[in-house]
Every structure is written in structure tokens, then in C-alpha cells.
Amino acid sequence: MNEDKLRNGQDPEDREEERIETDSIGTPIDGEDPLFTDETDVESLQESDRQEAASDGEPRTGTEELSQVEEQAVLLGRSDDAAPSAPSGPAAPRGGRGALWRSLGLFVVIVLILNVMWTQMNKKILAQAESTASLQLQVEKIGEEYAAAQKNIGDMKAVLETLTGELDLFQGALERVEGSAQRHETYLRNDLNRQKAALTEMARLVSVQEALLEGGAAEIVEEEEAAASVAAPDIMEEQLRINVETLRLTKESLEMTKAALVETEGRLTAAEERAASAEKELETVKANRDAERAELEEALAAMTARAEKAEAELAQAVESVESSKGELEAKAQAAAEARIAAEAKAAELEAAVASERDRASKAENALAETEALLERARSESASGAKDREGLQGKLKALGDKVAAMEEKLQASQAKLTSTEALLEAAREEMKGLKEPAEASAPAVTETSEAVEAPAEASSPDRAETEVPVTASPDQVETPAETEVPVETASPDQAGA
């Protein structure tokens, strides 16, 4: 507005000369990008970017960001084509806005690559967490099976102890039966020996009686005859009757003894058969008991082997889980350290870029002030040319100041170039960290927000609003090179 008012107070020749000088300062030659585009185009672009950012509500993907940057570049190229070309004036050097756009586009691409990389890392982390959860479930299942196996082993041990007690009781009963059988066998043998001795004695008595009956009959007759002469015949008859009765009784007792002997032999044979059958049954019971004991021992050994195998598998599973946990923690720690280093480096780069932008903004403000002083000097030059030499000295001082500002801007451009190199190195380092960071731990999931925040902060809106600040010093023409009508400046103006 002040420039328009000053221009309204000048004659057409001065306005034409100032327009030519302004075009020589702000308009490129030979189709170069302008330093400042049309304000309406920039405002419309910024407004459209803000509307798109407000309507989206979600972070844009890399393709959308690149397409947005390309559209803005196309619009800026159209506005540059629409800008009027300077009919005359010295040519401005190349560079400036295109390099800044390239650096900003490179920064946006790096941030988008980081965003995609962290998204892939989060997916890998979630997959690893799911596999860890499945392993944990398998470990819990193995623990339950191991507890059930231990319970079964305890039950089998209790059953084995019960069977062992029963076998001990059966062994005691069997030993008692064997003792009683041995005692019964001894009793039967002693009884048989006694009966044999009795039979032998009875046989001896029978043989004696038979001898008496057979061999001693003549002697008895002779004695009877001798006694007959002495005793009465009835006494002899009685004695004979008694002897005959005794012989008859002896024969009957001998027959009874023989029958008893036969019966005793039968009982002894039956007892021997029963003892043999009892021994066979005892051997069968012993064989069955040994077989049952062997089966129980085999079952116990098999269950013990299964329990030991289950314990070994459980220990191996626990070791594998612990090792996987350790690897995940180490990878997560490495990924966290890499993320922290990358964030620190990105913060340093952003701080460097911000400082360079501040310096460029200060330089641009100083250039604007210098241009305002030049405009004021031009407006004052129309009133007279009394102090031409003093004004030329001031203009020379202003030219020196502008040259110093150009040097500062060149230094800022060099720093921006080094910052671009640092960004390229950071991108290479991020590519190197991409492979080990894919298997990081679940603790890195929160880093996506930290990565999306710089991405949103480095959106084209911010770039659009900050682009005019970092102008190249090569595109600014020093006031000393332009021909300005000099007039006498007041002391206040000289001090300003």
C-alpha cells in the first residue's frame, strides 16, 4: 500500500523506471523460476491445502503427498508462466526457489519413507506378538498336560503302593499256608510212620499168634495131655476155647489193622496229591504275582519315562520361549535405540533447517527494509538533487550492506546444501536400519505417532507458507547496480 501511494505521487517516467527495476529484481530471465509468485496464487494454494488437511482428518499416504507436491509444482509453474517477463535489465543468476522446493520435497519423501517403514515394523511386531502369544498358549497347554501326567503318576504310585501292600499281605498268607502245609505234611508223615510201626507190631503179633497156632499145637496137646492127667477135662476145654477165641479176635484185629492200613495209605496218597496240587497252586500264584509285579514295574517305568519326556519338552519349550523373549527384547532395545538416534538426528536437522529459515527470513526482512529505503530514496530524489554525493555514499553503504547480506544468504544456501546432504545420509542410515528393525518388540508400536507427527509437520502447507522466506541471494540484484535518481536526503532519513 505504501509503495502504491508513493507510485501514485510520481510521474509516469519514474513509475516506468521503478517497474523496470522491480522486474529486474523479482522477475527471472530466460524462463527461470520467480522469487515471489503471485500472492493470489500462493494464498489460493495455501487455502486449498488447509481445506484438504481439514477435510481428510487422517495422515495422507506417500502417493497422495507426492501427487499434492506435483500439483503445487504445476500450479506454481503455471503462475510463473503467467508472470510478465522483464523487457530490460540485468539477468539474475539461476537457483533459489527450485533448490528449496527440491530440498523440501526430499524431506517430505524421507518422512514418508520413515512412516511406511515404521508401519511395516509395527506389522512385524504385531505378528511376532501373536506368535509369542501362541507359544505362551502352547507352554500353558504343556504345563497342564505335565500337571495331569504328574497327577496320573501320583495315582499310579498310590495304586502301586496298594498293590504292593496287598502282595505283601498275600505273601504273608502264602508263607503261613506253606508253614501250615509243611506242618500238616510232617504230621501226616509222622502219623504214617506211627501207623506203619503199629502195623509192623501187629504183623509181628499176628506172626507170633500164627506160630503159636501152627507150631505150638502139639506142645499145647502134650501139655493138655499132661494136664489132663492132672486137671479136669473141662478146664482143658475152656482153655482151648479161650485160645481159639483169642486167635479169632487176633485175626479180626489183624484184618481191621490191614483195612486201617489200606485206608491210611489212601489218605496219605490223597494228602500227598493235595500237597502236590497246593504246591502247583502256590507256584501258579507266585508266577501270577511275578507277572503282575513285572507289569506294574513296566507301567511305572513307562509312566516315569513319559513324565521325564514331558518335563524335558516343557524345559525345552520354556528355554525356547525365554530365548525368544531375550531376542525380542534385544531387537526391541536396538530398534528403540535406532529410533531414538533417528529422531534425534531428525530433530537436529529440523532445528538446523529452522535456524537457516530464520536467518533467511531475517535476511529477507533486511532486504525488504533496504528496498523500502531505496523506494524512499527514490521518492525523495524527485524533490531535488542537492546532496547527491551524500546520497551516493549512503547508497554505496547500502550496497555494501546488501553485499554482506548476499554473503550471509550464500552461507545460508551452503548450510542448506549441507543439510540436504545430512538428510540424504539419514535416509541411507534409515535404509540400513530397516532390515534389523523389522523384527523389533511390541514396545516400538508407540513410535508410529512420533513418526506421523513430523510427517504432518512437514506437510505441503508448511512448505507453502515458508517457501518465500528462503530466497536465493543470487536472484536479488544489489541496489548499487541500478541507476537511481539521487536527491538530497534529510538527516532523519539518513539516520533511518
- Do 261 and 399 lie in one domain? The reply is no
- Do 426 and 282 lie in one domain? The reply is no
Alpha carbons within 13 angstroms on the beta-carbon side of residue 188 total 18
In a domain? residue 368 = yes
DSSP annotation string for 462-482: HHHHHGGGS--GGGPPPGGGS
- Do 145 and 70 lie in one domain? The reply is no
Instruction: Identify the domain containing residue 178 by its residue range.
Output: 140-322
Residue 486 phi, psi (nearest 5): -100, 135
86 pLDDT exceeds 80? Answer: no
Structure-model confidence comparison of residues 477 and 436, the more confident one = 436
pLDDT at 112: 93
pLDDT at 383: 62
Closest C-alpha among 108, 111, 35, 37 to residue 460 = 108
Could you tell me the three cell numbers for 177? 499256608
- Do 150 and 267 lie in one domain? The reply is yes
The arithmetic mean of pLDDT across residues 293-322, rounded, is 76
pLDDT at 40: 46
**Is the four-CA dihedral 418, 419, 424, 426 of positive or negative sign?**
positive
pLDDT at 427: 72
Question: What tens digit of pLDDT does each residue of 349-367 get?
Answer: 878 878 877 887 887 788 7
Count of structural domains, the chain: 2
* Residue ending a domain, choose from 293, 322, 351: 322
Ranking 59-73, 91-105, 314-328, 458-472 by mean pLDDT, the lowest is 458-472
In a domain? residue 211 = yes
Dist. CA 252–CA 244, nearest whole Å: 12
pLDDT band at 240 (very low <50, low <70, confident <90, very high): low
140 pLDDT exceeds 80? Answer: yes
- Do 461 and 490 lie in one domain? The reply is yes
459 pLDDT exceeds 60? Answer: no
Question: What tens digit of pLDDT does each residue of 206-232 get?
Answer: 777 777 777 654 454 455 555 545 544
Helix 447-457 and helix 233-381, axial crossing angle in degrees, nearest 10: 10
- Do 170 and 299 lie in one domain? The reply is yes
The arithmetic mean of pLDDT across residues 78-105, rounded, is 59
The arithmetic mean of pLDDT across residues 220-246, rounded, is 58
Structure-model confidence comparison of residues 337 and 84, the more confident one = 337
- Do 317 and 368 lie in one domain? The reply is no
* Residue ending a domain, choose from 294, 322, 350: 322
Could you tell me the three cell numbers for 423? 538428510
- Do 308 and 447 lie in one domain? The reply is no
pLDDT at 382: 62
- Do 244 and 382 lie in one domain? The reply is no
Dist. CA 259–CA 104, nearest whole Å: 136
pLDDT band at 436 (very low <50, low <70, confident <90, very high): low
- Do 117 and 162 lie in one domain? The reply is no
User: What is the DSSP secondary structure assignment for residue 439, as one 8-state letter?
Assistant: T
* Residue ending a domain, choose from 275, 291, 322: 322
- Do 187 and 282 lie in one domain? The reply is yes
pTM of the model: 0.23
Residue 29 phi, psi (nearest 5): -110, 150
Alpha carbons within 13 angstroms on the beta-carbon side of residue 471 total 28
In a domain? residue 172 = yes
456 pLDDT exceeds 70? Answer: no
